[in-house]
Structure 1
Amino acid sequence: MEREKTHSIFFSLSPLLYLILSILFFRFIWQIPYPHPMALFVAGFLSFLQRRDRKLLFLKSAFRKNFLSVLPAMEILFFVGMLIASWAYAGVLLVMIQAGILFLQPDYFLPSLAIVAAIAAMVSGSSWTTAGTLGVALMGVAEVISFPPSMAAGAIVSGCYFGDKLSPLSDTTNLASSLTHVPIWSHIRHMLKTTCISFAIAIFCFYILNLFVWDLNQFQNSTLQSNQFLLDTTKQISWLKFIPVVLVFGSALLKIHIRISLALGIVSAIAFSVKEFGLPFDIIKTLVYGFESHSGNVVLDRFLSGGGVVAILPTEILILAAVWFGAVVEGYGYLAEILIQIKNWANDRWDILLSTMGTSFLLNMVTADQYLSLVVPARAFRSLAEEKGIPEKDISRALEDSGTITSPLIPWNSCGAFMSTSLGVSVISFLPFVFFNLIHIILSVSVLLIGKKNIKVHS
């Protein structure tokens, strides 16, 4: 089946223009509660209408491929919803929040969040496991001490993706390494310089931000008094309730699949609730509809109430809308035309590396799946890189510098949706504070642009 001839780059990019305009319309003019799913559907529909070769076979094939690529993420989201509900029900989240209040110092709160999340992600090899478990509890600490949730979420996401990027257990790190035939430790060592510099700058920025937003006297006078219930109970922390946490991270360390890790966390939390309350007949209801806290503490009840399968449904709808949009863009040739234009533009080493990063970011926006944002550019540019004598480790680093790093910054990407759902903060809200990811993108692109400029000067 033949397609239409290749259009101009402006026509090929029109779906992204429709998407941006739709988001602005539904967010600021119509002001509907969940603008992104509707914007993705409308942008996809407009892109579908302007094509003359609207054969449904193209759409069906692309939709099926994109749906299968995000299906594992959608399944994991349901596990996370049940995990949050079960941990709140069994008191696991409360114990983690108490421990956080005991050990995390307000003067260094944001840098501490980033470092703790980074260590956990490096150990577990998963930004998702860290955000869906430890990240939830850290957000609880921020809630209790009245720290801006958007800033706390930005620090947690920063730490999650730094640790994930440098972990030999990380699926994205292993994928980028295998796609380019670079040994895993060579790949990690090649990423160390720019990644560690970016994280160090991010930690400094979090410390400066902490100084500006944190008023210790206000904390002592208001927050401590309003949350005296929580702070008094820190002396009686039930450390046994950390067993579900240990099971989740321990199984992740043993490279057990994330679904099984989360299932262990859910089952062990249910076991604690059975031991404490007897056979809880409402546990199924809690897993489905979420937990309702009635402790009498307003701040604590607001945070602990939630989770469950139902709470995940808006995120699942968002991902499905993104799959529809991606199916139209990919199925009707928009994406292929953009890739052709990019490959025609890429003439030297620096152009190819920049093209790899740009394509990864574009695929994160279009397909809503970070794995495709690694696989497609690797296939598209690896042979071109070999022709130009570009080391394979440069391609593998470029894939991670964009594909992995930008995925949580896009609201409808499965990673962005997961982080938003787990931490309870919209991507738009925490985006300005994901210092590591933003700084690393700027640093990586700057290094390539400077290298390109120096080559031109010397030639």
Structure 2
Amino acid sequence: MSETTQRKIVKPWQALLMIVVGIAIIFLGLMVFKAKNHVILLTDGVVMCVMACCFGIKYDDLQADIKATINSMLVAILILIAVGVLVGTWMISGTVPIMIYYGMKVLTPGLFLPITCIVCTLMSTMAGTSWGTLATVGVAFMGVAQGLGVPLPVTAGAICVGAFFGDKVSPLSDSPVLVSSVTDVPLMDGIKHSLVSTGPAWLISVVFLAVYGMQFHSGTVGGEVYDAIMSTVTTSFNLNPILLLPPVVVVVLIVMKKPTLPTFTAGIVVGAVLAVIFQGAPLIQTTDGAQSIFMAMYEGYTGDTGNDIVNSMIQRGGLTSMLNTIGLLISAGVFGAPLRTAGVVDILLDYVRKIAHNSKVMATGVLILHGVFFTITGAYYVSYPVVGSMVKDMFPEYGLDKKNLMRIMLDTGTGLAPLVSWATTGAYVASTLGVDNMSLTPFAPMLWLSIVISVVMGLTGIGMVKLKDQKAVH
């Protein structure tokens, strides 16, 4: 008999009590005490360990599973570190600044809305940040919209469609990296499948914005914010089309299906070389205050352009920028491991299996479960590891690939976040763009259409990736 089968598990009523207490701690920590996600999950993990020990679970087993869980996150942590280093390198090399410049350069009044969406899509995808996109080119586009007479809720919708497209499917975004880790899905495989729902929803949104924006063809692009960004970027960086080489290298390697870490490493190396050639960045720190490439890799780009808006665009990245997410992954592991060790997850899933008689009901039920849990907590950094770790093993049992779970969670987490006013992301969207969440919802179809598509996929089975050479238990 294996070590796993010899382990004691808690009784059903004890499992239910642990789940109720665990959710209560998360809810109270987020909504009442406004504590950090890391502290909440670590506290919850300690409480779960104490409860498990009180119910007869050996502490050595708990500690061993916590260690095993954190060890399983090593690749995801390395990818997060690579993302941070990559962003810092692409900032100091001028790669991201030239993408911002070209993106804003192609603006025309009649195509303002779709181009706004596309520019935000490119920036969020290449830089891997929705928040950074909102606070930078997003703010600039809101200023341009005022000059054109374009309604602000419509502009905010276009910005959000672009910003959160990249946040959902960019390999540089911590959202898909986190979900990939908790669902045990290869990052690029999961991202490609996520495009099944997000891609069509994005295309429909762009067409809608193009048709809606035709009425503003007589306006003029410009404005103080727009002009300040363009002039500052051109004077602060030596812009050259060759600076677009790093993302081209990364995209080509991704298409060639090369491993994620070597792909990002190649993007870092190319960016570093271009930083030396075009921006004159030193390899090591100098006495004149010029930031070195290695410091940009570590702490992100810190150069001062003299313009606060542009600074907020480019002063980001670096290894240290990912420590928060890495800490969250570890905290989630500390919380989730005791639930698995004590058998709480197994007991919970047994009940779900009794209700879900087929893969369609199961997938739709998981979608609803995660959507509700995220809406209650308002934090997908909490809902991803908690729900993901609980249900990931169900999908293979029903003959479905775990990529389906990754897509479902991104649609009902990162995609839903801008529409939930009390969520951290929703509040940030409203405060940054100056538009309330409900007013921009009709003009950001991708955010809710991708959920609708996922629901249809779950109920019909169309587009669901099934496991090969394996029969479903249900």
Q: Does 1:67 align with 2:70?
A: yes
**Cα distance change on mapping 1:337 and 1:410 into 2, 3 Å:** farther
Q: Does 1:268 align with 2:276?
A: no
**Cα distance change on mapping 1:227 and 1:205 into 2, 3 Å:** same
User: Contact between 1:244 and 1:269, CA under 8 Å: does it hold in 2?
Assistant: yes
**Cα distance change on mapping 1:101 and 1:134 into 2, 3 Å:** farther
Q: Does 1:19 align with 2:26?
A: yes
Aligned ranges 1:203-218 → 2 under 5 Å: 203=206
Matched to 1:378, the amino acid is F
Three-state SS of the structure 1 residue aligned to 2:321 is: helix
Which of 346, 360, 385 is matched with 1:368 structurally? Answer: 385
Structure 1 residue 2: deviation in Å? Answer: 2.1
User: Contact between 1:47 and 1:328, CA under 8 Å: does it hold in 2?
Assistant: yes
Structure 1 residue 80: deviation in Å? Answer: 1.6
Structure number having the greater helix percentage: 1
Structure 1 residue 285: deviation in Å? Answer: 2.2
Identity across matched positions, percent: 17
Structure 1 residue 329: deviation in Å? Answer: 2.3
User: Contact between 1:322 and 1:367, CA under 8 Å: does it hold in 2?
Assistant: no
- Paired with 1:151 and 1:347, the residues of 2 have a C-alpha distance of 40
Three-state SS of the structure 2 residue aligned to 1:57 is: helix
Equivalent position of 1:387 in the other structure: none
User: Contact between 2:138 and 2:159, CA under 8 Å: does it hold in 1?
Assistant: yes
Structure 1 residue 294: deviation in Å? Answer: 2.0
- Paired with 1:146 and 1:62, the residues of 2 have a C-alpha distance of 49
**Cα distance change on mapping 1:428 and 1:150 into 2, 3 Å:** farther
User: Contact between 1:22 and 1:39, CA under 8 Å: does it hold in 2?
Assistant: yes
Structure 1 residue 36: deviation in Å? Answer: 0.8
**Cα distance change on mapping 1:371 and 1:329 into 2, 3 Å:** closer
Q: Does 1:81 align with 2:84?
A: yes
Equivalent position of 1:457 in the other structure: none
**Cα distance change on mapping 1:151 and 1:325 into 2, 3 Å:** farther
**Cα distance change on mapping 1:261 and 1:209 into 2, 3 Å:** farther
Three-state SS of the structure 1 residue aligned to 2:336 is: helix
Structure 1 residue 222: deviation in Å? Answer: 2.9
Equivalent position of 1:50 in the other structure: 51
Equivalent position of 2:41 in the other structure: 40
- Paired with 1:407 and 1:373, the residues of 2 have a C-alpha distance of 16
- Paired with 1:404 and 1:71, the residues of 2 have a C-alpha distance of 21
What per-residue deviation string (whole Å, max 9, x for no partner) do you get for residues 267-324 of structure 1? 1122122224274322222221222122222211232123211222122112211111
Equivalent position of 1:98 in the other structure: 101
- Paired with 2:75 and 2:157, the residues of 1 have a C-alpha distance of 27
User: Contact between 1:114 and 1:203, CA under 8 Å: does it hold in 2?
Assistant: yes
Structure 1 residue 140: deviation in Å? Answer: 4.6
Which of 425, 436, 440 is matched with 2:446 structurally? Answer: 436
Three-state SS of the structure 1 residue aligned to 2:296 is: helix
Three-state SS of the structure 2 residue aligned to 1:315 is: helix
Q: Does 1:281 align with 2:288?
A: no
- Paired with 1:49 and 1:111, the residues of 2 have a C-alpha distance of 54
- Paired with 2:354 and 2:159, the residues of 1 have a C-alpha distance of 43
Matched to 1:377, the amino acid is M
Could you tell me which runs of 5 or more consecutive residues in structure 1 were left unpaired when the two chains were aligned: 122-126, 165-169, 383-391, 417-424, 452-459
Structure 1 residue 217: deviation in Å? Answer: 7.6
Equivalent position of 1:419 in the other structure: none
- Cα RMSD over matched residues? 4.9
Three-state SS of the structure 1 residue aligned to 2:87 is: helix
Matched to 1:39, the amino acid is I
- Paired with 1:309 and 1:11, the residues of 2 have a C-alpha distance of 39
User: Contact between 2:359 and 2:398, CA under 8 Å: does it hold in 1?
Assistant: no
Structure 1 residue 101: deviation in Å? Answer: 1.0
Which of 134, 138, 144 is matched with 1:142 structurally? Answer: 138
Which of 232, 241, 245 is matched with 1:239 structurally? Answer: 241
TM-score when scaled to structure 2?
Answer: 0.66
Equivalent position of 1:158 in the other structure: 165
TM-score when scaled to structure 1?
Answer: 0.68
Structure 1 residue 11: deviation in Å? Answer: 2.6
Equivalent position of 1:421 in the other structure: none
Structure 1 residue 435: deviation in Å? Answer: 5.1
Which of 8, 24, 30 is matched with 1:2 structurally? Answer: 8
Matched to 1:132, the amino acid is G
Three-state SS of the structure 2 residue aligned to 1:291 is: coil
Matched to 1:440, the amino acid is S
Structure 1 residue 202: deviation in Å? Answer: 4.4
Structure 1 residue 59: deviation in Å? Answer: 2.1
- Paired with 1:210 and 1:38, the residues of 2 have a C-alpha distance of 45
What per-residue deviation string (whole Å, max 9, x for no partner) do you get for residues 392-446 of structure 1? 6xx77854552453464699xxxx9xxxxxxxx9576359678535433245436
Number of aligned positions between the proteins: 397
Equivalent position of 1:455 in the other structure: none
What per-residue deviation string (whole Å, max 9, x for no partner) do you get for residues 302-356 of structure 1? 3212321122212211221111111122222221121011011223565334345
Three-state SS of the structure 2 residue aligned to 1:328 is: helix
User: Contact between 1:98 and 1:230, CA under 8 Å: does it hold in 2?
Assistant: no
**Cα distance change on mapping 1:324 and 1:210 into 2, 3 Å:** farther
Which of 103, 128, 132 is matched with 1:132 structurally? Answer: 128
What per-residue deviation string (whole Å, max 9, x for no partner) do you get for residues 95-119 of structure 1? 111111112557656644665787x
- Paired with 2:317 and 2:170, the residues of 1 have a C-alpha distance of 25
Equivalent position of 1:249 in the other structure: 251
**Cα distance change on mapping 1:113 and 1:50 into 2, 3 Å:** farther
Three-state SS of the structure 1 residue aligned to 2:12 is: coil
- Paired with 1:208 and 1:447, the residues of 2 have a C-alpha distance of 28
Matched to 1:68, the amino acid is N
- Paired with 1:54 and 1:106, the residues of 2 have a C-alpha distance of 66
